[in-house]
Amino acid sequence: MILAQKKDLLGLKDLSKEEIELILETAAPMKDIIKRDIKKVPTLRGKALATVFYEPSTRTRTSFEIAGKYLSADVVNLTVENSSVKKGESLRDTIKTIEVMGFDIMVMRHSMSGAPHYVARNTDIRIINAGDGSNEHPTQALLDLYTIREKKGTLEGLTVVIVGDILHSRVVRSNIYGLSKFGCEIRVVGPSTLMAPEIDKLGVKCFYNLEKALEGADVVNILRIQKERQHSGLFPTLDEYANLYMVNGEKLKRAREDVLVLHPGPMNRGVEISSELADGTQALINEQVTNGVAIRMALLFLMAGGTRDEIAN
Ligand code: CP
């Protein structure tokens, strides 16, 4: 089992195509469990999972918690706001404290790029990166890949457009690392002030005009404008941003008729996505959330040493 040989899941940059496929294939039977009346299997009985979030989260933290519970793990959530971090305890001491309580897997989100990598080097617990600064958000990209593959039947050769705040987004980097392993054409589009300088080195095509970027697209993944990270006036006003880069039904006519619309959430309706599109039939935003639970169940299962043959019995 490939993932059982890796201690941590820190990013999609480090995963092979085969490892990603294994996670996606394992998520499918996990999704069946979510649909059952009794959503509980004994697979991770006796395992302990801690979620440690230094940044706010609704989807990622909650879905890891419920994923662990559906698999019968014991799950503890450390909310930094109510922890001894507030008394000045260091990251290293916080993690050591959790380690010696006997946890098997720790899910961690941090505002600093590389924080989960630092923790992974300094603890025996398996670490899953739930988003680090502007670096990676691997489980978001995995659920995005799952959602696309479920609808299109394949990932190979698709044209995927990623729109918005490329500079600050960890979702875009993990999506690029994942999609490029499946031969997708990846286009990133946004204002030049929100375009990361090194992004063209990752094999993507950069656009500054949304309509041009959307020509013939199979998938459009719309990023959240991260208001909390905009400290230096990178665009004049939200209205101006919306005028040029908000994806709506009219602009989407440039894409293929069967285009899929993704957004990792939370959304700024009327800024990066129109409400009409967010609530329309092309949008898969709620399915992404459901798939996020299945992906995280699959990951917990595989990282705890589960094999393909014993899935979902
Ligand atoms: N997509 C995502 O990471 O959402 P949360 O911040 O709510 O976890």
The residue extents of the domains of the chain are: 3-136+289-310, 138-285
> Is 60 labeled as catalytic in the residue annotation?
yes
Q: Which of 6, 7, 13, 59 is catalytic?
A: 59
Reduce the DSSP state of residue 282 to 3 states and report it: coil
The number of the ligand 1 atom at minimal distance from the alpha carbon of 292 is 1
Best of 51, 59, 62, 291 to mutate for ligand 1, by most ligand atoms within 8 A of CB? 59
User: Which residues lie with the beta carbon below 6 Å from any ligand 1 atom?
Assistant: 57-60, 131, 140, 264-266
Give the distance (Å) from ligand 1 centre to CA of residue 266: 6
Q: Considering only the top CATH level, what class is 3-136+289-310?
A: alpha beta
Give nearest CA residue, ligand 1 atom 5: 57
SS (H, E, C) 86-142: HHCCCHHHHHHHHHCCCCCEEEEEECCCCHHHHHHHCCCCEEEEEEECCCECHHHHH
Q: Which helix (H) or strand (E) holds 185?
A: strand 185-189
Domain 138-285 superfamily per CATH: Aspartate/ornithine carbamoyltransferase (3.40.50.1370)
Give the distance (Å) from ligand 1 centre to CA of residue 133: 13
Per-residue pLDDT of the chain in tens (313 residues, 90 and over written 9): 467 678 999 999 999 999 999 999 999 999 999 999 999 999 999 999 999 999 999 999 999 999 999 999 999 999 888 899 999 999 999 999 999 999 999 999 999 999 999 999 999 999 999 999 999 999 999 999 999 999 999 999 999 999 999 999 999 999 999 999 999 999 999 999 999 988 989 999 999 999 999 999 999 999 999 876 666 667 778 899 999 999 999 999 999 999 999 999 999 999 999 999 999 999 999 999 999 999 999 999 999 988 766 764 5
pLDDT of residue 81: 85
Which tokens sit at 288?
Answer: 């992404």
| Residue type for position 90 | S
Q: Do domains 3-136+289-310 and 138-285 have the same CATH topology?
A: yes
pLDDT of residue 178: 98
pLDDT of residue 1: 46
The number of the ligand 1 atom at minimal distance from the alpha carbon of 109 is 8
Find out whether 104 and 125 touch, Cβ atoms under 8 Å: yes
pLDDT of residue 192: 93
Q: Which of 87, 201, 237, 281 is catalytic?
A: 87
pLDDT of residue 231: 63
